[in-house]
Copies of this chain bind each other. A is one copy, B any other.
Amino acid sequence: MSAIAKRRERERAQRHQLIITAARELAEAEGWEAVTTRKLAERVEYSQPVLYSHFNGKDAILRAVALEGFGELAARLRRARLATPEPPQALHAVCRAYLEFAAEQPALYQAMFVLPTDVKFAHAETPPPLRAAFDEFVNCFRSDNSRRELFAEVTWSALHGMAVLSDSGRIPPNGQTERLDFLVTQIAGTPSGPATL
């Protein structure tokens, strides 16, 4: 490959990333419904067809943003877990990190977990970063716990529900901390008889 071709490929890769970043910023600023191919094209200072030479369509751009998010989320959860000296509190730290991620970048979170997608979850073709993020939850439970995966699924589901209901204004965003504390307490402890019912 000639040096010129290499430079072109480099520039192309840069532009590829530029599109992803622009879409993400625009979505974060005005919401996904405001991300149109025209606005996006203007933002990257190219015409619309250029977008289609990089991605198969708007959905593919969204998918690329989501994939980027999976990597960042996995890293963040991992950091939260490893930064916790006492393992019993790791779950709490990871859950808090998850909710912070969702609250700080709601549009990114939507692309990852709310908007329709063809990304495979819990499947052979699952993107490694996504699997890695999920595993951070799994690893909060003792390795001799044969139902770790189940625990992780329920924990994740609960957090997702809190994140998404809060973001869409369906539960007041204030109580998140109390809800988180309660959730972790219940998930972590072994239940002993119904006293709250």
A interface residues (Cβ-Cβ under 8 A, vs B): 33, 87-88, 90-91, 113-114, 116-117, 121-122, 140-142, 145, 147, 150-151, 153-154, 156-162, 164-165, 168-172, 175, 178-179, 182-183, 185-197
- Find the residue from A142, A145, A190 having the highest chain B CB count within 10 A: A190
Bound together, the chains give a CA A11 to CA B59 distance in angstroms of 43
B197 x A183 contact (CB < 8 A): no
Q: For residue A150, which residues in chain B have a CB less than 8 angstroms away from its CB? A: 175, 178-179, 182
Q: For residue A190, which residues in chain B have a CB less than 8 angstroms away from its CB? A: 189, 191-193, 195-196
B182 x A154 contact (CB < 8 A): yes
Q: For residue A141, which residues in chain B have a CB less than 8 angstroms away from its CB? A: 196-197
A161 x B168 contact (CB < 8 A): no
A186 x B197 contact (CB < 8 A): no
B189 x A194 contact (CB < 8 A): yes
- Nearest first, the 7 A-B pairs at minimum CB distance are A189-B191, A161-B161, A157-B161, A158-B158, A160-B161, A121-B170, A157-B162
**Residue of chain B at shortest CB distance from A185:** B191
Knowing A150-B182, A191-B188, A197-B91, the reply to whether A169 touches B121 (Cβ < 8 A) is: yes
**Residue of chain B at shortest CB distance from A122:** B172
Nearest CB of chain B from residue A3's CB, rounded to whole Å: 45
A90 x B197 contact (CB < 8 A): yes
**Partner among B121, B165, B170, B186 whose Cβ is within 8 Å of the Cβ of A186:** B186
B121 x A171 contact (CB < 8 A): yes
Nearest CB of chain B from residue A76's CB, rounded to whole Å: 19
**Residue of chain B at shortest CB distance from A31:** B116
- Find the residue from A87, A158, A164 having the highest chain B CB count within 10 A: A158
B171 x A122 contact (CB < 8 A): yes
